[in-house]
Amino acid sequence: MGIVDTVQGLMSRRILLNYRIDPDVLRRVLPSPFRPKLYDGVGMGGICMIRFKNLRPRFFPEWFGLGSENAAHRIAVEWEQDGELYEGVYVPRRDTNSVINSLVGGRLFPGIFSRSTFKVDERRGKVSVSIVRQDGGREIDFAGKIADEMPASSVFPSLDAATEFFLRGSTGYSKAGKEGHYHGMELECITWGIRPMVVETAESCFFGDIERFPRGAVELDCALLMNDIEHRWHGRPDLYLDPRSLCFTAECPKG
């Protein structure tokens, strides 16, 4: 876990772009012993695109806080840890336009970030986000607008059902550099409000990779929008893969 245990600020905009994923394919993508958390028989993955404002260590004044654009690829998962069942998300990739986030992520606070270029347009109820990696490749292209209700094609029967599912995925884990070692962080939303969106464009280099996800394994489900959310990020204990039990433990295995 990082030196800074808690940071806080405002998510002036948070988009959850969500995909339905074949659970058998998802099991091959996830590092063991993470396994897909299913909803109505399908796995759920997606991308969280956030604009932070006034992000700072807890108890620091607002003027100390920083703003940045960020994105995290997320897959809903379950895992066994020291004999107990947990749920949350596995995060295979994070992007940021912030030099500071890319430098301190994984060092002072959990989560390793890739430095990328963000192009964001928010006008008249529409939002578009384009993310380009440092190698020039396009990671994400998204455009959408606020809707009155969930799309009929969504696996979620209502906005309340979708909200409950994603609230339970507040703890995320990602690789820490060494095989079988994962950093954790938990999102605490102090305020909460969520609206469905109509998706106009949704392209993802990660979820669109046919070598990782064969054609037909991934389908667009929905997008959700949150604005002006006061929140805190809490560092969570690291997870280590115990080679004897092939389960996670909070203690680093010896030897």
pLDDT tens readout for residues 176-221: 878 899 999 999 999 888 999 999 999 999 999 999 999 999 999 9
Q: Is residue 206 part of a domain?
A: yes
Q: What is the CATH number of the domain that holds 142?
A: 2.40.400.10
19, amino acid identity: Y
Domain assignment of residue 1, yes or no: no
Q: What is the pLDDT of residue 115?
A: 84
**237 within a domain of the structure (yes/no):** yes
Residue 238 covered by a domain: yes
User: Is 255 inside any structural domain?
Assistant: no
**Structural domain of 34:** 6-249
The answer to whether the predicted template modeling score (pTM) of the entire model surpasses 0.85 is yes
Q: Model confidence over 45-91: pLDDT tens digits?
A: 999 999 999 887 776 667 566 889 999 999 999 999 888 999 999 99
pLDDT digit string (tens) for 104-140?
555 555 667 778 999 999 988 899 999 999 899 999 9
When divided into structural domains, the chain yields a total of 1
